[in-house]
């Protein structure tokens, strides 16, 4: 085990955390499933009974305080499209207790804060009554159905009550018939051993589209302190991928990505590399993190299969809904410095190039809060990032490289060939 992995072993996940696409809420920890590639393995939360650590009412109180506390220095809670994501350290649909907790959390939140998009990520088979109860609450809900195709390929990477492909498609049909809910396919890990041949891959894309999925988000196999790389299933069944990943933070099948994108364009089914793009599509709004920003869009935006109408919403000259961080460069600099607790001389706002440089070590969750507040209008680079999750995001790393060389730095794994 690496030193970084040892540091994570047994660590307690925060109740509320600012991830790059959403704000995570974790009132329950521990997952009944046992997926070889899951970061919960390093945390000791894989193949364990879920444990509630706070009541739905107390969680709602904490969310209210979080949104209206220090975070409000840079983000008006009433002008904030950042979604909430419930259950990043469990599967909220894989046990009766978790399903009931989901309903209760949504009800308590609806009593305490204005409606905002709620994200639910699951590998489980959904129940019709659960969908009906969630729909009655009235909040917009985006389901991310995690489906790797490992079981379709006959590769035993996932143990427990994880859905087969046909069950995931049935989930999407159930959700798409509701009033307030949308289905998105989380295709991960997108690696060679788990993928069908090109003709079958196109059939899978067509099936996803026909099921009512709004789009797919494709991620590779992340490698680093948050992945249990000593899991024998990875070494046995993903041997080629693991060899290719030596020294890398992610392995992603670029060739099949290109094939999937071409299939998506033929069938008018969007395929993305960022969950923030999927949420923008569902909300019919501009993407929040800036994949469309002129400095990086050639790497993060144009390689994807995305409808023309959504690209128009994300055009650099499109109006930004809400004010984000108010004021010109001087006010922006002051607010960022105050939020981070550093001197203003450590913050440089380059209005012409749309760069913000922070000469300080910035906690990851604070960095993500700034991304949400700025809504993609600036590329934010920090001297360093203090990682707080079990895996590292590519956003600050790419921003740092871009700021150093002054031009877009290709993210090779994203460009279809």
Which residues make beta-bridge pairs with 120?
Answer: 86, 143
Average pLDDT, the chain: 89
Alpha helices in 84-151 (DSSP H): 96-112, 128-137
Rg from Cα positions in the chain: 20
Alpha-carbon span 67 to 77, nearest angstrom = 6
Instruction: Report whether 182 contacts 175 (CB < 8 A).
Output: yes
Alpha-carbon span 71 to 168, nearest angstrom = 36
Above pLDDT 90, what percent of the chain? 74
Alpha-carbon span 40 to 27, nearest angstrom = 15
Mean pLDDT, residues 13-23? 95
Instruction: Please state which of the four CATH numbers 3.20.20.70, 3.30.950.10, 3.30.360.10, 3.20.20.140 is assigned to the domain occupying 3-313.
Output: 3.20.20.70
> Which of 39-43, 303-307, 310-314 has the least mean pLDDT?
39-43
Mean pLDDT, residues 365-380? 93
Tens-place pLDDT, residues 76-134: 999 899 999 999 999 999 999 999 999 999 999 999 999 999 999 999 999 999 999 99
Query: What residues does CATH 3.20.20.70 cover in the chain?
Result: 3-313
Instruction: Please report, in angstroms and rounded to a whole number, the separation of the first and last CA atoms in the chain.
Output: 35
At 247 the pLDDT is 74
């Amino acid at each position: 085990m690496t030193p970084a992995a040892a540091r994570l072993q047994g660590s307690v996940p925060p109740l509320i955390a600012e991830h790059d696409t959403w704000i995570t809420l974790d009132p329950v920890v521990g997952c009944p499933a046992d997926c070889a590639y899951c970061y919960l393995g390093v945390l000791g939360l894989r193949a364990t009974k879920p444990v509630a650590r706070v009541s739905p009412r107390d969680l709602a109180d904490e969310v209210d305080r979080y949104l209206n506390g220090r975070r409000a220095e840079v983000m008006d809670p009433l002008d904030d499209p950042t979604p909430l994501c419930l259950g990043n350290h469990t599967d909220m649909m894989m046990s009766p207790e978790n399903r009931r907790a989901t309903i209760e959390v949504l009800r308590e939140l609806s009593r305490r804060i204005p409606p905002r998009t709620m994200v639910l990520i699951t590998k489980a088979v959904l129940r019709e009554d659960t969908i009906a109860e969630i729909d009655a609450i009235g909040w917009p809900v985006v389901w991310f159905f995690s489906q790797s195709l490992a079981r379709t390929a006959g590769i035993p990477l996932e143990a427990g009550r994880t859905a087969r492909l046909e069950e995931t498609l049935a989930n999407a049909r159930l959700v798409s018939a509701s009033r307030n809910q949308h289905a998105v396919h989380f295709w991960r890990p997108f690696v060679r051993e788990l993928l069908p041949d090109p003709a079958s891959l196109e059939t899978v894309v067509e099936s996803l589209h026909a099921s009512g999925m709004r789009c797919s988000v494709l991620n590779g196999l992340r490698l680093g302190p948050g992945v249990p790389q000593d899991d024998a299933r990875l070494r046995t069944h993903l041997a080629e991928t693991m060899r290719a990943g030596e020294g890398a933070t992610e392995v992603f099948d670029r060739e099949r990505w290109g094939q999937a994108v071409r299939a998506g364009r033929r069938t008018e089914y969007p395929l993305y590399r960022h969950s923030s793009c999927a949420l923008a599509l569902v909300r019919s709004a501009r993407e929040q993190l800036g994949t469309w920003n002129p400095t990086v869009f050639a790497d993060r935006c144009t390689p994807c299969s995305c409808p023309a109408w959504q690209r128009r919403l994300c055009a650099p000259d499109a109006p930004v809904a809400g004010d984000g961080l108010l004021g010109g460069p001087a006010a922006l600099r002051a607010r960022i410095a105050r939020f981070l607790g550093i001197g203003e001389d450590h913050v440089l706002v380059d209005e012409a190039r749309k760069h913000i440089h922070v000469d300080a070590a910035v906690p990851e969750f604070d960095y993500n809060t700034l991304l949400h507040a700025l809504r993609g209008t600036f590329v934010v680079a920090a001297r360093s990032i203090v990682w707080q999750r079990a895996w590292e995001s590519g956003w600050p790393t790419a921003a740092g490289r871009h700021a150093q060389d002054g031009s877009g730095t290709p993210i090779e794994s994203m460009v279809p060939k």
